[in-house]
Amino acid sequence: MEPLFSYGTLQLDQVQLSQFGRLLDGTDDVLHGFIVTEIQIRDPAVLDASGIETHLALVPGEGPPIAGKVFQLSPQELAAADVYESENYVRAWVPLASGTHAWVYVKT
């Protein structure tokens, strides 16, 4: 299983069901070293799954701690998350406040 830190729409039930076919159990954690910004989503499949045109995105920088959830995904589910995040994000391996590491999507 692959740990994925989510700070945005991957926490929504409808997105989890559309992308993974199941609801995910997550554990709370915190990310440092990034600033939250917003981007406009144009991908019709992503808009259909989330129902939201403006999504959060991370850029490197010193900002307040970012709370989120760590989900354990199969390699196939992680690949599905990559497709969902599409051209707007790149996946990065980051340290979390708990002392563990996880994948997170940051702005391209």
Which domain range does residue 84 map to? 2-107
- As for how many domains the chain has, the answer is 1
pLDDT tens digit string along 21-56?
999 999 999 999 999 999 999 889 998 899 999 999
Cα–Cα distance for residue pair 84/66, rounded to 1 Å: 21
CATH of the domain at 10: 3.10.490.10
Q: Could you give the residue ranges of the DSSP H alpha helices within the chain?
A: 13-20, 44-50, 75-85
- Provide the angle, in degrees to the nearest 10, between the axes of the packed helices 75-85 and 13-20: 120
Amino acid at 57: A
pLDDT tens digit string along 50-102?
999 999 999 999 999 999 999 999 999 999 999 999 888 999 999 999 999 99
